A and B are shown apart, each in its own frame.
Chain A
């Protein structure tokens, strides 16, 4: 969790990308960011800011996008590559809906995470996943759709880890989870990070995300409007007011209108 974003070359570098829906609606508008190896990066923002689009664009899941700009990962230009190719380079994406195969069992879901692997580390990786989420071992013969929301998130993360990602991208991992479960999911993310995996996290729960991330980006309307170390973002008055709920001025519509006029971005 280092916080200096300038010294080492980034693992993922995004420069001025533009992603459009239906060839005319800008979802990402000249967005740039970078993610350094073995750290946790958080992208925060309100609904509709383009956070999910950002992750999907990186993962290659939006056809023919980005229209403009460059995405570079570990020395490879990956923009507009097919999702299978992006995945094979070491980027694994866990979507907001967890992306599980609901009709398949927990074990089968995990087996699919091992697709294409024949190395000797499979057993150790499975053991690591079961250590992170012991409940998955107990549920191994259960269909994924019968798991609780928290267990599904754990399965999605475990399956992603079995691909040995260099970059793990998660979309709203705390969405719909009870605070206790969300905390355990975030504890697991910290352990994954300590084991050497780079994490790019998209969250609406800014408080939770900034607790584990070393560096954060604030996104609004398809652009990065603010970035900085977690500590600096947590100390920023606008972030406090809008994302950490520490102000209170924006609670009323009038307060929100006044606030929008004088905020710094």
Chain B
């Protein structure tokens, strides 16, 4: 039982990162039906921006905020400068997904060029070595912080989407774009905001993941793939599903690593994707998109 709780809590901390990445992916997929393959690299760019500022002795809070803003600006810039013109020229969904892949490669190159490809330690106010004990369960300060920030982000995200005017416009635009347009809702600005928000969530995940490992241009690749698996598990078009999917994937990995083998941990994500696609292709909380032919 002691081990079970320990593996579960450790898994939840990891799952919280996946949940943030998955939430960003689901938000974009729900709004635009595009799988954003650049999500991980947008997060990497934002985290590197924060890292650069921290190295310039800027206080962590300001640097982290700037990192989130950089990630959001990259995403919004990509939407306005690349995606919108492509859509005007009737680019289909596959072409738009390829464009996100292109952006991913460009960002990898830029981050490698300006930030260096060597792994670097990411200075962070919370320590991965300082442990807190809750009964029989031990969790690091960083793990606790990760769980906390994820809860805060999810609550803020929920409030934004459910309780504000921009959130209402986001829900309307993602559900029925032509109807939103005919009501005069500035759908492009709303979608750009969604892109920025999704990238911002990714950067937050990156900021809390970087201190647990080292910072290099590819450090978000694995969490991105796991976040992708989590989003599929929860249902790609479901925002609560993304959070639930992330947490379940994290816990499943924790159990697999603890009870089976640490080598088996990464296989879990793939097994989950296969199982979900076979049993419930639309995901746990997702719904099949119905489109009129």
Contacts and interface: CB of A to CB of B under 8 A. Distances in A.
Interface of A: 59-61, 63, 82-84, 86-88, 92-93, 95, 97, 99-104, 108, 111-113, 115-116, 159, 163
Contacts of A95: 178-179, 182
B184 interface: yes
B181 A101 contact: no
A256 B181 CA distance: 42
A60 B175 CA distance: 19
B144 interface: no
A175 B151 CA distance: 47
A63 B87 CA distance: 11
B171 A101 contact: yes
Interface in B161-206: 165, 168-169, 171-172, 175-176, 178-187
Given A95-B178, A99-B178, A163-B183, 19 more contacts: A60-B181, A61-B182, A84-B184, A84-B186, A88-B184, A92-B183, A99-B179, A101-B172, A101-B175, A101-B179, A103-B175, A104-B168, A108-B171, A108-B172, A111-B165, A112-B183, A112-B185, A113-B183, A115-B169
Contacts of B186: 84
A15 B106 CA distance: 48
12 contacts: A60-B181, A84-B186, A88-B184, A95-B179, A97-B292, A101-B172, A101-B179, A104-B168, A108-B168, A112-B180, A115-B185, A163-B183
Nearest to A116: B184
Contacts of A87: 181-184
A227 to B, nearest CB: 26
Contacts of B179: 95, 99-101
Nearest to A83: B181
Of the candidates A60, A82, A84, A104, the one having the most CB atoms from chain B within 10 angstroms of its own CB is A84
Contact of A61 (B169, B178, B292): B178
Interface residues of B, number: 19
Contacts, number: 68
A140 B134 CA distance: 46
Which applies to chain B's interface (DSSP): helix, strand, loop or mixed?
Answer: helix
A130 to B, nearest CB: 19
B171 A115 contact: no
Contacts of A61: 178, 181-182
Which are the 9 A-B pairs with shortest beta-carbon distances?
A99-B179, A83-B181, A87-B184, A93-B182, A101-B172, A101-B175, A88-B184, A115-B185, A84-B181
Contacts of B181: 60-61, 82-84, 87
Tell me which of A83, A87, A93 has the highest count of chain B C-beta atoms within 10 A of its own C-beta: A83
Contacts of A84: 181, 184-187
A84 B187 CA distance: 8
Given A112-B168, A112-B169, A101 B182 contact: no
B182 A92 contact: yes
Contacts of B182: 59, 61, 83, 86-87, 92-93, 95, 99
A59 B184 CA distance: 11
A264 B182 CA distance: 38
A255 B176 CA distance: 44
Contact of B184 (A101, A102, A104, A163): A163
Contacts of A83: 178, 181-182
B44 to A, nearest CB: 33
Contacts of B187: 84
Contacts of B185: 84, 112, 115
Given A112-B169, A115-B169, A104 B175 contact: yes
Contacts of B292: 97
Contacts of A115: 169, 183-185
B172 A104 contact: yes
A102 to B, nearest CB: 7
A163 B186 CA distance: 15
Contact of A159 (B165, B169, B171, B183): B183
B63 to A, nearest CB: 37
* Most A-side CB within 10 Å, residue of B178, B179, B185, B292: B179
A117 to B, nearest CB: 9
A116 B175 CA distance: 19
A97 B290 CA distance: 14
A84 B184 CA distance: 4
A99 B169 CA distance: 15
Contacts of B168: 104, 108, 111-112
A45 to B, nearest CB: 21
A103 B183 contact: no
Contacts of A108: 168, 171-172
A84 B182 CA distance: 6
Nearest to A156: B179
